[in-house]
């Protein structure tokens, strides 16, 4: 087997943290971070559940924005918002600031996913490129 080229491997390591895999970070580590700051169980529960509150109420309205201004523009706005807010979490030790970050960042990540599932751009389907005899 050939060893992977170091340039392609480096590009994977650079692009990996910016993928949507950091959602697991928020659902697992934010409650632990809240406990380490001394928050009680109700505050940790609010932090864990706050990610979906805004998305629950505004998903239809964001869809209207995507129809009006374009799916790509709105989706990129929310992707960049989620990426810009991610480094702020370790810098904030207060409950209300963390709750606000969870609300805004949870909505941004949810809306970025909504923009990716654009019905005008269906997912690629697997097609056989060469015909082989059976």
The percent of residues above 90 in pLDDT, for the chain, comes to 22
State the pTM of this model. 0.69
DSSP class per residue in the chain: -PPPPHHHHHHHHHHGGGSGGGHHHHHHHHHHHHHHTT--HHHHHHHHHGGGHHHHHHHHHHHHHHHHH-HHHHHHHHHHHHHHHGGGGGG---HHHHHHHHHHHHHHHHHHHHHHS-TTSPPP----SS----
Tell me: pLDDT of 52 over 80.
Answer: yes
- The predicted model gives 85-93 an average pLDDT of 89
Question: Domains of the chain: which residue ranges?
Answer: 21-116
């Amino acid at each position: 087997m050939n060893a992977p080229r170091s340039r392609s491997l480096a590009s994977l390591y650079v692009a990996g943290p910016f993928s949507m895999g950091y959602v697991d970070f928020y659902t697992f580590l934010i409650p632990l971070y809240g406990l380490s700051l001394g928050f009680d169980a109700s505050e940790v529960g609010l932090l864990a559940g706050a990610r979906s509150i805004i998305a629950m109420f505004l998903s239809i309205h964001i869809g209207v924005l995507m129809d009006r201004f374009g799916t790509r523009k709105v989706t990129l706005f929310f992707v960049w918002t989620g990426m810009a807010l991610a480094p702020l979490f370790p810098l904030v030790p207060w409950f209300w600031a963390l709750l606000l970050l969870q609300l805004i960042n949870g909505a941004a990540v949810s809306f970025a996913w909504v923009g990716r599932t654009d019905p005008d751009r269906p997912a690629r389907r697997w097609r056989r490129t060469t015909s082989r005899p059976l």
